[in-house]
Amino acid sequence: MIWLVGNKGMLGTELTHLFEVNKMHYVGTDREVSILDLEAMRTFTKDKDISWIVNCAAYTAVDKAEDEVELCRALNAQGPENLGTLAREIGARVLHISTDYVFSGTPFLEKGTPRPYREDDQTGPTGVYGKTKQEGERLLMAAALNSIIIRTAWLYGKHGNNFVYTMLRLMKEREAIGVVADQRGSPTWAYDLASAILHLINLPKEKLSPGIYHYTNEGETTWYDFAREIYRLGREQGLLERDCVVNPLTTDQYSTKARRPAYSVLSKEKIKALGVTVPHWQDSLARFMYQLAKA
Ligand SMILES: NC(=O)c1ccc[n+]([C@@H]2O[C@H](COP(=O)([O-])OP(=O)(O)OC[C@H]3O[C@@H](n4cnc5c(N)ncnc54)[C@H](OP(=O)(O)O)[C@@H]3O)[C@@H](O)[C@H]2O)c1
C-alpha cells in the first residue's frame, strides 16, 4: 500500500487524482497525521502494510520562511527525517519532493553557456526555504538510504495558489503588470510531475536506484515569458476578456524577502533514462489552461 503524505496540497491533490484513476491501493493524509509527530505516524501505519511513503508535505511559503525559520526547518528537514526513520522501521521506501532552490542560481558553464543543473552538482541554497529543503534531503538519505528524492521547480496546478492563477487574476484586474524577466527556469505542471512519480513507484524495485532525480517540464523560460504565454493562451481560450500589457522587470525592481535563483534549469537526463516522459512546458501549460477554460 502507498501512503500519500500531504494529500491536500497542490501536488498531493494531483497524485490523489491519479491514484484514484489508476485504482492504486493507497491511503492519504495531511495535517491530521503530522510529519512532526513520529509517534502519531507509527500509530497510523501500525495496522497497514505500507511499501511506499510518498511525501508531498512541506513548508512552501518561500518568503515567510525567512521569518519562520524554526517551523520551516521542522517541516522541511525534521519531517523527512521522521519519514525516513519510520520507513526503515516498517520496511517501506520513501519518495520525497525537493526543489531547485537547493542550488545557488549561479549556473555552471559549458563552452561559455549555462548548462542545466545535474543531480550531483554542488548545491548552495541562499534562503531559509532552500537551506531547510537541502537539510531534509540529507537527513532523509541518512535515515533511509534507499529513498528517492525528486527535485522540481516552478510548480503550478489546479489546486492551490500558484503563478498561473496569480497572473490570470492580475491580468483581469489591471491594464498592465510587471513580471521578472531575468530569472530562468522551467514551469512544471503538477499533473506531469504526479505522472512521473506514478511511473517511478510502478517500476520494478531493482530498476529504481536510490538517490536524487530531477523533474521539471522540458524547455526553459523566464517568469516574464511564462506570463506572456499565460496571457496569450488566456485570451485565446476566453479566460481573459480584456487587454493587459505585460512589462519586463529586473529582479532588483521586484524585491522579495527571499532571493530567488537567477538560473534554476534542471537536467532531466537521469529520470528520462527510466522511461519517464517529460512534456514541453508550453504544451503542458496549453493543456492545463484548456482544462481551466472547459471547467
Ligand atoms: N510549489 C512549488 O513551486 C514547488 C517548487 C519546487 C518544489 N516544490 C516542492 O514540492 C512539494 C509539494 O509542493 P506543493 O506546492 O504541492 O505544497 P503545498 O501545496 O504547500 O502542500 C503541502 C501540504 O503539506 C501540508 N502540511 C503542512 N504541515 C504538515 C504537517 N505537519 N504534516 C503533514 N502535512 C502538513 C500542508 O497543509 P497546509 O496547507 O494546511 O499548511 C499542505 O496540504 C514540496 O516538497 C515543495 O517543497 C514545490
Report the separation in Å between the CA atom of 190 and the middle of ligand 1, taken as the mean of its atom positions: 12
Report the chain's mean pLDDT, rounded to a whole number: 97
Mean pLDDT calculated for residue range 173-201: 98
Does the annotation count 129 as an active-site position? yes
- Cα separation, 224 vs 230, in Å, equals 10
Q: For the structural domain made of 2-161+187-219+264-279, what CATH number should be given? A: 3.40.50.720
**Each residue of 88-108: pLDDT tens digit?**
999 999 999 999 999 999 999
Report the separation in Å between the CA atom of 60 and the middle of ligand 1, taken as the mean of its atom positions: 6
Q: Ligand 1: which residue has its CA nearest to atom 8?
A: 99
Report the separation in Å between the CA atom of 136 and the middle of ligand 1, taken as the mean of its atom positions: 14
Mean pLDDT calculated for residue range 175-179: 98
Report the separation in Å between the CA atom of 76 and the middle of ligand 1, taken as the mean of its atom positions: 9
**Each residue of 252-267: pLDDT tens digit?**
999 899 989 999 999 9
So what's the pLDDT on residue 255? 87
Mean pLDDT calculated for residue range 110-115: 95
Distances (CA, A) of 58 to 54, 63, 113: 12, 14, 33
| Confidence band of 36 (pLDDT split at 50, 70, 90) | very high
> Pick the catalytic residue: 129, 191, 213, 263?
129
Residue 202: CB partners within 8 Å, gap ≥ 6? Answer: none
Parse the chain into domains and list their residue ranges: 2-161+187-219+264-279
**Each residue of 222-235: pLDDT tens digit?**
999 999 999 999 99
**Best of 5, 11, 151 to mutate for ligand 1, by most ligand atoms within 8 A of CB?**
11
Q: Ligand 1: which residue has its CA nearest to atom 7?
A: 99
Mean pLDDT calculated for residue range 62-86: 98
- Cα separation, 294 vs 137, in Å, equals 39
Q: Ligand 1: which residue has its CA nearest to atom 19?
A: 9
DSSP 214-277: E---BS-EEHHHHHHHHHHHHHHTTS--S--EEEEE-GGGS--SSPPPSB--B--HHHHTTT--
Q: Is the dihedral of CA 15, 201, 274, 83 positive or negative?
A: positive
**Best of 60, 95, 215, 226 to mutate for ligand 1, by most ligand atoms within 8 A of CB?**
60
So what's the pLDDT on residue 122? 97
Report the separation in Å between the CA atom of 157 and the middle of ligand 1, taken as the mean of its atom positions: 13
**Predicted TM-score of the model (pTM):** 0.98
Ligand 1 pocket, CB under 6 A: 6, 8-12, 30-31, 34-36, 56-58, 60, 75, 97, 99, 133, 152-155, 160
So what's the pLDDT on residue 31? 98
Quick check: 205 pLDDT over 90?
no
The answer to whether the CB of 82 falls within 8 A of the CB of 38 is: yes
**Best of 55, 71, 133, 155 to mutate for ligand 1, by most ligand atoms within 8 A of CB?**
155
